[in-house]
């Protein structure tokens, strides 16, 4: 499970709008001493150059958070990899399969035109599949970040120790 802390800025039935409380860097970019020059790819710093507004995310909220709460949100480990493969690899694969299949089935003199048409058909099929996948993934908790727990600093709990 990939986790990070966030602050709740709005709530709705079963969901919350949160903004990250950290700078967005992964654990490789930040060492235990807080030094951000300890390696890593720095991709988030490059991305921040082109982003003017703060990042806000809609997450599933099964615990009923309140506005202002500090929470820990998480997403399944393989969800990012599966989502990336679905978004990039499958449509690209369909373009190559469409171009190759069309060139194979076409007469010798029209192979170039057939390859272009096959690639366009593969692209259209990939775009249609991607549209349906995105709509289904938007409603699938397996691909959505979820509020895991609240990080409340205003609660002090005493435990009874039995002797």
* pLDDT of 115 higher than 90: yes
Q: Tokens for 159?
A: 């435990």
Distances (CA, A) of 152 to 3, 62, 146: 16, 16, 17
What is the pLDDT averaged over residues 110-129? Answer: 93
Within 10 angstroms of residue 82's Cβ, the number of other Cβ atoms is 14
Predicted local distance difference test score (pLDDT) of residue 44: 58
Regarding pTM above 0.95, the answer is no
Name 6's bridge partners: 20, 71
Alpha helices for the chain (secondary structure H): 43-49, 79-84, 90-105, 111-137
Predicted local distance difference test score (pLDDT) of residue 82: 83
Q: Are 11 and 80 in contact (CB under 8 A)?
A: no
What is the pLDDT averaged over residues 52-76? Answer: 83
Predicted local distance difference test score (pLDDT) of residue 145: 86
Nearest one of 148, 163, 156 to 70, comparing CA atoms = 148
What is the pLDDT averaged over residues 91-99? Answer: 94
Nearest one of 85, 123, 115 to 99, comparing CA atoms = 115
In the structure, what pLDDT confidence band is assigned to residue 101 with cuts at 50, 70 and 90? very high
């Amino acid at each position: 499970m990939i986790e990070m802390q966030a602050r709740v800025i709005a709530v709705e039935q079963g969901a919350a709008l949160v903004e990250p409380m950290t700078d967005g860097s992964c654990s490789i970019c930040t060492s235990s001493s807080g030094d951000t020059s300890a390696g890593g790819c720095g991709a988030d710093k490059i991305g921040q150059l082109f982003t003017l507004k703060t990042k806000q995310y809609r997450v599933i909220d099964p615990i009923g958070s309140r506005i202002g709460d500090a929470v820990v949100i998480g997403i399944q480990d393989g969800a990012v990899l599966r989502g990336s493969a679905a978004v990039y690899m499958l449509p690209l694969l369909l373009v190559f399969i469409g171009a190759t299949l069309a060139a194979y089935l076409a007469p010798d003199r029209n192979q170039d035109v057939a390859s272009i048409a096959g690639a366009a058909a593969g692209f259209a099929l990939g775009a249609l599949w991607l549209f349906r996948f995105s709509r289904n993934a938007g409603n699938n908790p397996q691909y959505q970040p979820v509020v895991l727990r609240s990080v409340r600093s205003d609660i002090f709990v005493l435990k009874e120790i039995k002797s």
